[in-house]
A and B are shown apart, each in its own frame.
Chain A
């Protein structure tokens, strides 16, 4: 027995030795390659940390990532160190480690996507004073942080006008993600837009409390459609995908079902395709991609707006309505355009708060 024991112990040691040895050499190699890469690269590199939605949320994070990719392509950067990259957060606890990871990889400018990242950006920017950061939808008072805000209420107002002009049941729904100031701007603008057309229309406002729970969005949309709502505007990121799937299921079951969804952030037309029909009325675009490119370019040229807040609104194409591809008839479109003009000219002041 004891012989066997020794044999086993020996083979164990051997196995451990090879394993650890392998680790050691690989690690060294890794280090070498990364340092040589860092030395040659002189281009301006950008990266972003997503909120819990991820870069395929068909919405806000995706839009930001498209902006980063576009900037990368325009400058002939490649994805990875010294080019452009993203990291996804699974939860709040990941914000700081993810931001730190990107800073450590020496990206020149790191974007935090989303209001929820305010604290994390504030902390990291305080520690890494020689690095540049930008936060979307949030405000951090640090000289090395650029703040990007949108006048969501202006775009949402137009979405509200469109919904009010198109509804047949005079019942409209709003599905929000987490009840935070950003989403409140969507809600306030949307409700004001509806009221501007017809103050008697009831808007059913509901918050699901999450940006990444499609099942909650689906349940909420199901309840709304069953209660007679025919158009739902969602401002809920990934949760809003559930609103689309509920509407599509209803359309599939009954081709004449009068259900519509107004998408958010990106043009969500593709989300609404059901066979030959499409249940996307329009989408309220929030051009996070443009803003991301704008700030990246400024930073590249050495004109980084650190410590400043840039607000993108209707008049500088920060927000807009997407092409409805015929879902909204010409004459209605004209009315919406009129409202748009009045907002851009400052004749209509859209409320920011509910």
Chain B
């Protein structure tokens, strides 16, 4: 078997294995796996409404995945995407509601503000890592909690004691009647284009610029990069800032597209943490992130249809989805298995 075939086989086998084990779980808990998977399929691709909602769900995942992947490429583990996303979400909603400007200025400014807020939240762990060698994992995790409660407090202050911010002005909204009508009143919005544009930006930055080369070099080996005359500290900070900006934009997807406002959050949204898995599934490449985000977003949204159409309780559904993702993520095992099989055959 050539490498190409193996590369193609690994994801297919892993998805099939995931579906199989998921089916066993459903069978043992007394539910029909066939109708369950049909419900899942219809939940993702069933009609234009489902497709619209699925794409809507994918947009923030792409950006969260990019954020994690970007930091990874320079050797940093940004677990703070969750917090950066919340800060971005709040900033987007605030700027979107507080100002009255023509759309052509308002929307870009709002997106920029969200990115900046996320970047700022990424800057802190970046500086601490670069100057004091404080591990970014600890700082970013803690910054998540800071973000959660600061944002909740800000929502209360800004809204005058309410649990919810004002709705954003229509000029800052990513919602589109066109896309919504196209998909039978789904909440699909222009955010997906923002997300895809950012994929291109990350690719360009990493592959076509000197800065990108330096960032990757720092990721491969800090000491070698230093020896080669690169400013390692600057690159670490820059990496966290850009990563944070992506995360902030992911928050803007929720604020400007899906919800149009922000309510006080009882806990984390989960998008940022899922972003870690999205990035790893996508091998930390921009294109891979699209794949990872599509898988995550589709499963997350489509799974909602399983209680709806097949009467499978949400808890079982969560287990099944987790199993599918688990098998996809453990593609390495399947790859090794395939290679062993191959060697044996060749030996014969």
Residues on A lying within 8 angstroms of B by beta carbon are: 1, 4-5, 8, 12, 23, 26-27, 30, 54, 80, 87-88, 90-94, 96-98, 100-102, 104-105, 116, 119, 127, 178-180, 208-213
Judging by beta carbons under 8 Å apart, are B307 and A87 in contact? Answer: yes
Name B255-300 residues within 8 Å CB distance of A: 258-259, 261, 263-267, 269
Judging by beta carbons under 8 Å apart, are A97 and B2 in contact? Answer: no
Closest B residue to A104 using CB positions? B49
The residue that B305 contacts in the complex, of A5, A101, A178, A208, with Cβ under 8 A, is A101
Closest A residue to B261 using CB positions? A119
Judging by beta carbons under 8 Å apart, are A30 and B163 in contact? Answer: no
Judging by beta carbons under 8 Å apart, are A209 and B152 in contact? Answer: yes
B72 at the interface (CB under 8 A from A): no
Q: Given contacts A26-B38, A27-B38, is CB(A101)–CB(B308) below 8 Å? A: yes
Which 5 pairs across A and B sit closest by C-beta, in order of nearness? Answer: A210-B266, A101-B308, A127-B185, A180-B163, A209-B266
The residue that B266 contacts in the complex, of A54, A97, A178, with Cβ under 8 A, is A178
B339 at the interface (CB under 8 A from A): no
Distance in angstroms between the alpha carbons of A54 and B34 in the assembled complex: 25
Distance in angstroms between the alpha carbons of A70 and B299 in the assembled complex: 34
Across the interface, which residues of A come within 8 angstroms of B42, CB to CB?
27, 30
Closest A residue to B269 using CB positions? A91
Across the interface, which residues of B come within 8 angstroms of A12, CB to CB?
12
Q: How far is the CB of A28 from chain B (nearest CB, A)?
A: 11
B226 at the interface (CB under 8 A from A): no
The residue that B314 contacts in the complex, of A8, A88, A119, with Cβ under 8 A, is A88
Across the interface, which residues of B come within 8 angstroms of A101, CB to CB?
304-305, 308
Q: How far is the CB of B28 from chain A (nearest CB, A)?
A: 21
B311 at the interface (CB under 8 A from A): yes
Judging by beta carbons under 8 Å apart, are B5 and A8 in contact? Answer: yes
Distance in angstroms between the alpha carbons of A88 and B304 in the assembled complex: 9
> How many chain B residues touch A (Cβ–Cβ < 8 Å)?
35
Judging by beta carbons under 8 Å apart, are A213 and B267 in contact? Answer: yes
Across the interface, which residues of A come within 8 angstroms of B269, CB to CB?
91
Judging by beta carbons under 8 Å apart, are B266 and A30 in contact? Answer: no
Closest A residue to B161 using CB positions? A179
B239 at the interface (CB under 8 A from A): no
Across the interface, which residues of B come within 8 angstroms of A211, CB to CB?
266
Distance in angstroms between the alpha carbons of A102 and B307 in the assembled complex: 11
Distance in angstroms between the alpha carbons of A211 and B311 in the assembled complex: 24
Q: How far is the CB of A129 from chain B (nearest CB, A)?
A: 12
B336 at the interface (CB under 8 A from A): no
Distance in angstroms between the alpha carbons of A27 and B53 in the assembled complex: 20
B1 at the interface (CB under 8 A from A): yes
Q: How far is the CB of A243 from chain B (nearest CB, A)?
A: 16
Q: Given contacts A88-B307, A97-B304, is CB(A26)–CB(B5) below 8 Å? A: no
Across the interface, which residues of B come within 8 angstroms of A208, CB to CB?
266
A-B contact count (CB 8 A): 72
Across the interface, which residues of A come within 8 angstroms of B258, CB to CB?
93
Q: Given contacts A27-B38, A101-B308, is CB(A116)–CB(B263) below 8 Å? A: yes
Judging by beta carbons under 8 Å apart, are B163 and A87 in contact? Answer: no
Closest A residue to B303 using CB positions? A90
Distance in angstroms between the alpha carbons of A23 and B34 in the assembled complex: 9
Across the interface, which residues of A come within 8 angstroms of B307, CB to CB?
87-88
Judging by beta carbons under 8 Å apart, are B1 and A212 in contact? Answer: no
Across the interface, which residues of A come within 8 angstroms of B326, CB to CB?
none
Distance in angstroms between the alpha carbons of A27 and B47 in the assembled complex: 12
Distance in angstroms between the alpha carbons of A80 and B314 in the assembled complex: 16
- Interface mask (B27-47 → A, CB under 8 Å = 1, otherwise 0): 000000011001001100000
Distance in angstroms between the alpha carbons of A23 and B19 in the assembled complex: 14
Distance in angstroms between the alpha carbons of A345 and B269 in the assembled complex: 46
B144 at the interface (CB under 8 A from A): no
A93-B259, A208-B266 given; 13 more Cβ-contact pairs under 8 Å: A8-B5, A8-B9, A30-B38, A97-B53, A97-B301, A100-B49, A100-B185, A101-B304, A178-B163, A180-B163, A209-B152, A209-B264, A209-B266
Residues on B lying within 8 angstroms of A by beta carbon are: 1-2, 5, 9, 12, 34-35, 38, 41-42, 49, 53, 57, 152, 156, 163, 185, 187, 254, 258-259, 261, 263-267, 269, 301, 304-305, 307-308, 311, 314
Distance in angstroms between the alpha carbons of A127 and B2 in the assembled complex: 54
Closest A residue to B266 using CB positions? A210
Distance in angstroms between the alpha carbons of A56 and B301 in the assembled complex: 22
Q: How far is the CB of B55 from chain A (nearest CB, A)?
A: 13
Q: How far is the CB of A45 from chain B (nearest CB, A)?
A: 15
The residue that A92 contacts in the complex, of B152, B259, B267, B301, with Cβ under 8 A, is B259
Across the interface, which residues of A come within 8 angstroms of B12, CB to CB?
12
Judging by beta carbons under 8 Å apart, are B2 and A1 in contact? Answer: yes
Q: How far is the CB of A269 from chain B (nearest CB, A)?
A: 26
Closest B residue to A79 using CB positions? B311
Across the interface, which residues of B come within 8 angstroms of A180, CB to CB?
163
Distance in angstroms between the alpha carbons of A88 and B311 in the assembled complex: 11
Judging by beta carbons under 8 Å apart, are A96 and B1 in contact? Answer: no
Across the interface, which residues of B come within 8 angstroms of A116, CB to CB?
263
Closest A residue to B301 using CB positions? A97
Closest B residue to A213 using CB positions? B266
Distance in angstroms between the alpha carbons of A97 and B314 in the assembled complex: 15
Across the interface, which residues of A come within 8 angstroms of B265, CB to CB?
209
15 A–B contact pairs at CB < 8 A? Answer: A12-B12, A54-B314, A80-B311, A87-B304, A88-B314, A91-B269, A93-B57, A97-B53, A98-B308, A101-B304, A119-B261, A127-B185, A178-B264, A210-B266, A211-B266
Judging by beta carbons under 8 Å apart, are B266 and A87 in contact? Answer: no
Distance in angstroms between the alpha carbons of A93 and B56 in the assembled complex: 10
Across the interface, which residues of A come within 8 angstroms of B57, CB to CB?
93
Across the interface, which residues of B come within 8 angstroms of A30, CB to CB?
35, 38, 42
Across the interface, which residues of A come within 8 angstroms of B301, CB to CB?
97
Judging by beta carbons under 8 Å apart, are B263 and A96 in contact? Answer: no
Distance in angstroms between the alpha carbons of A179 and B164 in the assembled complex: 10
Judging by beta carbons under 8 Å apart, are B185 and A23 in contact? Answer: no
Distance in angstroms between the alpha carbons of A88 and B303 in the assembled complex: 12
Distance in angstroms between the alpha carbons of A335 and B134 in the assembled complex: 62
Q: How far is the CB of B159 from chain A (nearest CB, A)?
A: 11
Across the interface, which residues of B come within 8 angstroms of A54, CB to CB?
314
